[in-house]
Amino acid sequence: MKTSRYNLTLFITGTTPRSLRAISNVRDFCSRELADDYELEIVDLYEAPERAQPANVIVAPTLIRHQPRPLKLLVGDMSETARLRALILAP
């Protein structure tokens, strides 16, 4: 089984406009810049609040890059592509 190079988790809360924007922005970026070489998990904190603490998440929306290392974290609706690029692509 092939392991993807990029491993990401997006934490959101329900269907708020900002959550929906964050999902759409991250998906767009990944399909455009990462080809198929990524895994993206979306976690709704209303449904799974227990997922927040282990991941060090205190606000939503938050995007976490688990792989490649080091682990990095970005907060907001992910509309600033430059910051998204820095989070995901920069070492």
Partner 1 sequence: MAADPEREELERLRRRLAEAEDALHAIRTGEIDAIVVQGPTGPVVYSLKTADTPYRLLVEQMHEGALTVSAAGVIMYANAAFAGLVGMPVEQLRGCDLADFVADPSDHEALRLFSPGREIRLICGRGRETRNAYVSSAPLSMDESEMHCVIVTDLTRQELRRRHEAIVNSSADAIYSLTPDGIITTWNRAAERLYGYAPDEIIGRKVDTLFPSQGSEPDRSLESVLQVKQSQLETLQVDKRGRPIEVAISVASFEAAGVFQGIAVIARDMTERNRARDHIRLLLNESTHRAKNLLAVVQAIAGQTARFADTLDQFQDRFAARLHAMALSHDLLVSEGWKRARLSELVRVQLETFDPGGRVTTQGPDVYLVADAAQHVGLALHELATNAAKYGALSAVGGAITLHWEIVGNGPKVLRLSWREREGPPVARPSRVGFGSTLIEKAIEHALEATVVTEYAPEGFSWTIEIPSRYIAAAPGPHRDNH
Applying CB under 8 A, which residues contact partner 1?
12-14, 16-19, 45-46, 49-50, 52-53, 57-62, 70, 72-77
Task: Check: CB of residue 78 under 8 Å from CB of residue 19.
Answer: no
Nearest approach, Cβ of residue 39 and partner 1 (Å):
21
The torsion angle over the Cα atoms of residues 12, 16, 19 and 24, rounded to 10 degrees, is 140
In the 8-state DSSP scheme, what is residue 4? Answer: P
| Shortest Cβ 83–partner 1 spacing (Å) | 9
- In whole angstroms, what is the distance from residue 12 CA to residue 22 CA? 8
Closest distance of CB 34 from partner 1, Å = 21
Nearest distance in Å: CB 85, partner 1: 15
| Contact (CB, 8 A) for 61 and 77 | yes
Question: CA nearest 60: which of 49, 71, 72?
Answer: 49
Residue placing its CB nearer to partner 1 in the complex, 36 or 50: 50
Our CB check for partner 1 shows the closer of 30 and 57 to be 57
Report the residue number, 31 or 67, with the smaller CB distance to partner 1.
67
